[in-house]
Amino acid sequence: MQPLPPERRTPSPASPRLSIVIPAYNESARIEAALSSVLAWVASVPWETEVLVIDDGSTDNTSAIVHRWMASRPSLHLIQNPGNRGKGYSVRNGLLQASGQIVLFSDADLSAPIEEAQRLIDAIEAGSDVAIGSRWLDKQRQTIHQPLYRRFFGRCFNWVTRKVMGLPFKDTQCGFKAFRRDAAQTIFRLQTIERWGFDPEILFIARKLRYRIVEVPVTWGHDERSRISYLKDGMKMLQEMGQIRSNSLRGRYDQAIAALKDTSHMVTPPVERNNSSHSASPRPGQA
C-alpha cells in the first residue's frame, strides 16, 4: 500500500456536516455548470457544506476556473494532484482530506443531479456507513439513457464484479457515493487501484470491514461527453479486477486491516519507576 497524505485537518464540532468531492480532469467545458449547480444547492440547504474540487493534473484551465470561483465562495476549495493519477486517486485524495461528517463524491458532469445527495445523506443518517448511488436499482430514474453498447459493457462488467469479487450490487460504477466520515477514512486508506477500477475495490474493502452498505436508486442522466475508452479502459479494469482478487488471495487486505487495528505502536512504553508502590500495574517482567 502506498503512503497517503496526512489528513488536512482534524474534525471538530464546527466541521462541516457534508463534504462534496468532485474529481476533475480537463473539465473546463463542464466545471462551471457543475460549480453553479452544486454551490446553489449548498446555499439552499440548512447545514454547512464544503466543496472540494480535485484537479487531476488537468492540462486545460480547470484549476484557473475553480480559483476564480473560490474568490467569492469560501466553501469552495481546490486540491491539486501531483499530475494525472486517475479518478480513483482523485476521489481518495479528496475524501481523505475532507472534513465533513458525511463525505460524498460526484462526477463533474453531475449525471446524478446534486439534489440527489439528499437520498444518500438520508441513507447514512438511517444507519448506513456507505450509500452508493445506483442507476440500475430503479431503471425508471434514468432520464437520459447510455448508448446500447455502453449498457452492454456496463452489464458485463457488473457480472464480473459479482462473479469474481462476490459483490452483490446492481451498480458498482455510479460516480455518486457517500460515506460516514470514519468509514471513508478507513476504506480509502486501504485502496490500491487509482484509475477506473477503484469503485469495486472500495466496495470489496468495505464489505471486508463489515460496513453497512446500501444501494440507493438515484436519478441519472447520461452525459455523452464521457471520455472512458471501452477497449483500453475496459481491458485495464478487467486487469484491475484480477489484481484485487490476487491481493485478496495473498491476504494483502487482511494484513492491511490488521495493521490499521494494531495500535501497539501508539502506546507509550511503561516508565521504569523507583517506587513500585506508586504503580498499580505490574512492571515489565513482573508476573
Find the shortest distance in angstroms from Cβ 220 to Mg ion.
10
With CB cut-offs between 5 and 8 Å by kind, which of ligand GDP, Mg ion, none does residue 86 bind?
Answer: ligand GDP
Q: How far is the CB of 196 from Mg ion (least distance, A)?
A: 12
Cβ atoms 153, 116 nearer than 8 A: no
How many Å apart are CA 24 and CA 67, to the nearest integer?
Answer: 13
Among 228, 235, 259, 260, indicate the residue that binds ligand GDP (CB under 6 A): 228
**Binding test (CB under 5 A) with Mg ion, winner from 27, 55, 56, 109:** 109
* Distance in Å, CB of 272 to ligand GDP, minimum: 53
Asked if residues 168 and 162 have their Cβ atoms less than 8 Å apart, the reply is yes
16, 19, 21, 25: which one binds ligand GDP (CB under 6 A):
25
115 binds Mg ion (CB under 5 A): no
Query: Residue 90 has which C-alpha cell?
Result: 482523485
244 binds, among Mg ion, ligand GDP, none (CB under 5 to 8 A by kind): none
In this chain, which of 16, 20, 27, 217 binds ligand GDP, going by CB under 6 A? Answer: 27
Stretch that binds ligand GDP, among 223-231, 240-248, 265-273, 276-284 (CB under 6 A): 223-231
Region near Mg ion per CB under 5 A, out of 6-14, 74-82, 148-156, 219-227: 219-227
Q: Does 60 bind Mg ion (CB under 5 A)?
A: no
Among 36, 118, 143, 226, interactor with Mg ion by CB under 5 A: 226
The residue length of the chain stands at 287
List the one residue from 118, 226, 276, 279 that touches ligand GDP (CB under 6 A). 226
One-character DSSP codes across 239-258? HHHHHHHHHHHTTHHHHHHH
Residue 223 found at the interface with Mg ion (CB under 5 A): yes
Regarding 90 and contact with ligand GDP (CB under 6 A), the answer is: yes
What sign results for the dihedral spanned by CA atoms 36, 42, 48, 53?
negative
Q: How near is the Cβ of 224 to Mg ion at its closest, in Å? A: 9
84 binds ligand GDP (CB under 6 A): yes
Q: Is there binding between residue 227 and ligand GDP (CB under 6 A)? A: yes
Site residues for ligand GDP per CB under 6 A? 23-25, 27, 56, 84, 86-87, 90, 107-109, 175, 223, 226-228
Q: Which parts of this chain interact with Mg ion (CB under 5 A)?
A: 107, 109, 111, 223, 226
